[in-house]
Amino acid sequence: MINVEILLKGLGYLELDSNLTNEFGIQLVFNVDDLKDISGRKSNYSKTIKVLGTDINNKLFTFAFDIQSDGTFDITLKQDCILFINRNPIIVGYISLKQIEKNYIGGTYQIIYSINIFDEIINFFDDLGEKKLIDLNFESGFTFQGITYPVGDHIFNYTNVINSIYSGISFQNIYEYPLVNYNYNLIGGKKWPYQSVGLSELRPSIYYRTIIDKIFYDAGYTYISEFLDGTTHDGLFDRILNIYNGTQLMTNVNCCLFMTGPVTIIEPNYIKDLTKNDYYLGGSVYDFYHYELDENFFYSGGTGTGTFPATSCIRVPLDGIYTVKFYIDIETSPHTGTELTFYKYSVDDYNTSGMIAPEEWQITLYGTGGTYEFSGLTLVKDDLLDFFIRSSTNPFVCKNMAMELIYVPDSENFVDKRDTTLQLNEFLPDMKQSDFIRSLISEFNLYIWPDKLDEKILHVEPRDDFYKQGSTIDWTNKVDYSKSFLIENLNDLLKKKITFKNQEGDDLYNTQYKDKYSIVYGEKDIEINNNLIKDESIIETEYQSIQFYFHGYVAPWFNKIIPVLIPDLEVNYYSEMTEKLPMIGLIYSEDYDYTYWKLIGDHNAPMTTVKYITHVDTLGGNVYDLNFYTQHQLDESSIYNLLIDYNDRNCYNEFWKNYVENITNKNSRKLTCYINLNLKDILQMDFRNTIFIDGQFYYLQEINYDPSRQESSKCIFIKIVEPVELGSFDPSFLLINDLGDYILIDNGNGKIKIT
């Protein structure tokens, strides 16, 4: 005898009326997928269950759902529950009250409650509700599943940024400072081997692993997943970061000329132009502000007259008030007469005359140098700035020197973030936490199912890994051949086209790509041989694609190409930034021996490590691409086309291909039949298992089970398209068609149908 019980946690058991359950049944649906919308994922649930309004039930429902005297109630409320069959928990989740009605039963009017029960997966997403990523708080550390995360919020300064860059790659860092071209036109994202990098270019990118762990931690759940914990797929998930997509200006440091020495000035009264070969424009302005003067450029001024090739000047980006700082590190103390001269060439002068008298500012150098500042300078857009050092007596050695141009914005909205505490959640996209997880499901074809022993534990794995964890079970003798046995061609049930894609970004290079190729960058299209249905099924993430673009020369020992997210070619750091859709990328770190990288503000400590964002990388000897497919590269000279095969393990090949090919193959079949399942079968049910029926292997998709009735259960299967061995069945009952399918012979009772 089957005994069904429903426990409202913390309240008590419902009284189930046998007459109602016999009439309406208790239909439970267990499923793993939805064939009509392959971008969706269902969970286990009950169809509508009718519960009689006894005194006990009335009290329980009134308390749980705030039922008023007029019969109204809060339909948004839910009550944690467990559905037991013979004291075995079958569904652990919550009850949703859908309707209250009065029916005439047994000569009197009775209250009837219509309820549905959903398992913990839906409960998890409902618990997240309207919470957004910005609701995640990183002002204190937390420990999740044995991993202790430090405090994420931090002071934005040179020391912390450098420490982050040198810290190595680990999701336990919580965040990184990778190179991403947000709004400064750096020759299509190129970084030269001798350049500095400014704080103005850097924004924190947060690890997806950290975000997921914090979501589960705050919601009171845990997960079991070899994918999310980085065990499988060469630790791919541990390398994924969220790329900042907002409009926050970080600092007003604009650009920097710097020199890494030592440079020895040996001739008295010799003017050494340190900008020709020893200084390179860094920070955020190389392409847009760099200006090359004529090779023979005459000037005259208070320090003397001479001829020198003035190159690599800073070009002023826009009219305004500026501060110019010099950082000078001298190895041997300068002698009397050693001076630094900073000068400005007016845009009006060099446009109209070949003989220019620049405006000059001079300082005398003493000791081993230091920081020298000229503030309150009124400069005009396209003015040129340069400087030199002269020594009137004995030689001295200058180890390092930098010139920093700082714009003083007059906007009331500008807040300089330097030396202030950054709250990491402000650098996450404006996205609901539930949508964040659903987007991961779409990207990596994730299956989520509840743990049988603890409803607060969810299992999460990509589809192929999900099935690898199962075993094979023979249900041939459980088939109820007295009922319908329907085999359908899956191609007749699917849409004409399946498209996998990210969102379409509106930045310059994503727009150019769409205009050129008529698809979104990273898109994968699957055409299905189906003339009956014209609709398209779309698997789409919440992220926009990120483009890499390169032109011009890149030193072969430093081939770095970073995401370019500029709206047009006329932007500079002070152009208004536009908010973009959420973006993801892989973090990459590289060490090298050159000592020319510097973070502005710490000119005596060259950076020997750089971190940047990519959507393709080699992990564990395998090439992974976060795009579904990379068919074209907008810039055909991209270094990635030379070094890496994008499509080795892109997201389609790695996570979706087997699934799609199994349902779109010419031999793909859907089987709907009835299986004699007992309570033991339900308790041991595991959708990871492969089911063997009449010589074919199947993936179980859905079970409709009613414990209140002693009858077979309707089940849906998908044929596994691969060679199989003959099973133990009566060969006179089956035929094999030209496609290799086993065809059932209609026995005349109309219960078996072949399509």
| Average pLDDT per 10 consecutive residues for the chain, totaling 755 residues | 89 84 76 51 76 92 91 88 90 90 78 88 84 96 96 92 90 92 52 55 92 97 96 95 83 49 41 33 28 29 33 64 76 66 70 57 75 83 71 60 65 70 94 93 90 87 92 94 88 79 87 88 82 71 79 43 72 66 88 58 62 85 87 55 60 92 86 93 90 92 89 93 44 44 45 42
Backbone angles phi, psi at 650, to 5 degrees: -70, 175
**What pLDDT score does 189 carry?**
39
Q: How far apart, in whole angstroms, are the C-alpha atoms of residue 170 and residue 281?
A: 32
Structure tokens at 451: 């743990």
- DSSP symbol at 479: B
**What pLDDT score does 428 carry?**
95
Name the strand (E) or helix (H) holding 82. strand 79-85
Per DSSP bridges, beta strands 609-614 and 583-591 are antiparallel
Structure tokens at 72: 């109204």
**What pLDDT score does 731 carry?**
36
**What pLDDT score does 314 carry?**
66
**What pLDDT score does 305 carry?**
33
Strand arrangement, sheet containing 446-450:
222-224, 457-462, 446-450
Backbone angles phi, psi at 314, to 5 degrees: -85, 130
Cβ atoms within 10 A of the Cβ of 367, count? 8
**What pLDDT score does 688 carry?**
92
Category of 543 on φ-ψ map: left (φ > 0), alpha (ψ -120 to 50) or beta: beta
**314 burial class (0-12, 13-18, 19+ CB within 10 angstroms)?**
buried
Q: How far apart, in whole angstroms, are the C-alpha atoms of residue 707 and residue 711?
A: 9
**What pLDDT score does 663 carry?**
85
Residue with tokens 């009566």: 730
Give all strands (DSSP E) within 453-529, no chain letters. 457-462, 472-474, 485-489, 497-503, 524-527
Backbone angles phi, psi at 305, to 5 degrees: -125, 140
Q: Does the bond joining 262 to the residue before it have cis omega, within 30 degrees of 0? A: yes
Q: How far apart, in whole angstroms, are the C-alpha atoms of residue 600 and residue 403?
A: 9
Q: Which long-range contacts (CB under 8 A, 24 or more apart) does 478-481 make?
A: 478/675, 478/676, 478/677, 478/681, 479/673, 479/674, 479/675, 479/676, 479/693, 479/694, 480/673, 480/674, 480/675, 480/676, 480/712, 481/747, 481/751, 481/752
- DSSP symbol at 653: I
**What pLDDT score does 172 carry?**
95
Q: CB of 449 within 8 A of CB of 467?
A: no
Residue with tokens 């990871």: 688
Q: CB of 316 within 8 A of CB of 322?
A: yes
- Secondary structure of 310-332 in the HEC alphabet? CCCEEECCCCEEEEEEEEEEECC
Structure tokens at 301: 């001024």
**What pLDDT score does 462 carry?**
94
Name the strand (E) or helix (H) holding 373. strand 369-379
**What pLDDT score does 500 carry?**
92
